[in-house]
Structure 1
Amino acid sequence: MAEHVVLFTGPMGAGKTAAIASLSDIDPVRTEAANTDRVTADKATTTVALDYGEITIGPDEKVRLYGIPGQTRFEFMWKVLMRRAVGMILLVNNDNPDPIGQMLYFIDYFHELYERGGAVVAISRSDVGLGPTREEYYSALAAARPGLSIPIFSVDARSPEQMKIALFSLILNIESRAAVPSRYEEPRQ
């Protein structure tokens, strides 16, 4: 059976734990502790190691879902988990004071993963506040990273259907990039 690793990245409170729970065929493994930073995200617990789930996407294909802690103090773990991953779903909380800045930060940090695999941006909590529109996210990404094409979705991270759309979009993105080299890559022999 082919197995792939997808990282769920993004700031604390963006919905990574909920997204993995909504997608996983198994009971997700969670490593949560009491949240001591209620200013950044007003929630009782936060991930301190990783979340883990699995989804079978075909008769012989499984995706391992790894959710990483969003706080920068855990960056040392990000690099370790990034090595095995084929792509990432970047969750951004649209209700955050600077969601576009957060998106750009994580795109920059995980650029190696995007370059060798793929990425999708999933904007959570779009229904809660008056945050940026998807078009504003696309415009900011195009201005900051010309030539970078990443699908951007508005999602409810708790919705299996919406998260499957994001996951399958990522998989198609990875497969199409593997089949057709980008202008930034040398052709594969």
Structure 2
Amino acid sequence: MRDCKIVFTGTPGAGKTTAIGAISDTPPVVTDVPNRDPSLAKERTTVGMDYGEVVIADLVRVRLFGTPGQVRFDFLWPILAHKAMGLVILVDNSRPDPLADLRLYLDAFAEQLEHTACVIGIGRTESHATPSLQFFVDELVRRGRVFPVLPVDVRERDQVLMLLDCVLAQVEARNRAGLGLPGLRRTRRGG
């Protein structure tokens, strides 16, 4: 079986914990605590990381890591992203400035994005249609980045798996083209 690491990141409430829980084949490990930040409209918040695993087609075990969203924990972001093959940036379209949120995470992960596959998942588009997906694409173009931008309901397993498929397709395409993106690692049977 081959093995890879994918990191989910984004603002508090963007759905990192929920996304990992929606697709993990094992009960996810979460480090949620009661929220004491009045600026966050949620009861619990991640302060360390989330972790889960999903096996795709009995061929690839994807280790799923979720970052805490609060900027005060940004020192954990590069630690969790170390040796990741892919990054899923989740954006909550109901927040006051979702494009600024995207910019924050593009800047924070700029070094990793030079050699890591990425997909942008935009949540809550059904209730908050603006900005449209095109605005996110335009922001990426302004920064010289080309990544898939997809609407996503992080509660829906199939939609979160689509985000993973996009990341894994980029990894495979870059490997076939010899562009230096790290390939999937083989793991020992049973471990």
Deviation at 1:38, TM superposition (A): 3.0
SS for the counterpart of 1:116 is coil
Stretches of structure 2 that go unaligned for 5 or more consecutive residues are 181-191
Query: Does 1:77 pair with 2:73?
Result: no
Identify the range of structure 1 (7-16 vs 75-84) with the bigger mean alpha-carbon deviation.
75-84
Structure 2 distance, partners of 1:156, 1:104, is: 21
SS for the counterpart of 1:161 is helix
SS for the counterpart of 2:12 is coil
Deviation at 1:130, TM superposition (A): 4.2
Task: Give the corresponding residue for 1:133.
Answer: 132
Task: Give the corresponding residue for 2:8.
Answer: 8
Structure 1 distance, partners of 2:42, 2:129, is: 20
Structure 2 distance, partners of 1:72, 1:38, is: 15
Deviation at 1:129, TM superposition (A): 2.3
Structure 2 distance, partners of 1:73, 1:31, is: 15
Task: Give the corresponding residue for 2:108.
Answer: 109
CA contact (8 A) 1:24 1:55 kept: yes
Indicate the RMSD between aligned Cα atoms, in angstroms: 1.4
Stretches of structure 1 that go unaligned for 5 or more consecutive residues are none
- 1:15-164 counterparts in 2 under 5 A? 15-39=15-39, 41-143=40-142, 145-146=143-144, 148-164=145-161
Instruction: Provide the aligned length of Structure 1 versus Structure 2.
Output: 180
CA contact (8 A) 1:86 1:113 kept: no
Structure 1 distance, partners of 2:128, 2:59, is: 41
Identity rate of aligned residues, in percent? 36
Report the AA paired with residue 74 of structure 1: F
Deviation at 1:91, TM superposition (A): 0.3
TM superposition score normalised by structure 1: 0.90
Deviation at 1:117, TM superposition (A): 2.0
Report the AA paired with residue 159 of structure 2: Q
Structure 2 distance, partners of 1:21, 1:56, is: 14
Identify the range of structure 1 (67-76 vs 128-137) with the bigger mean alpha-carbon deviation.
128-137
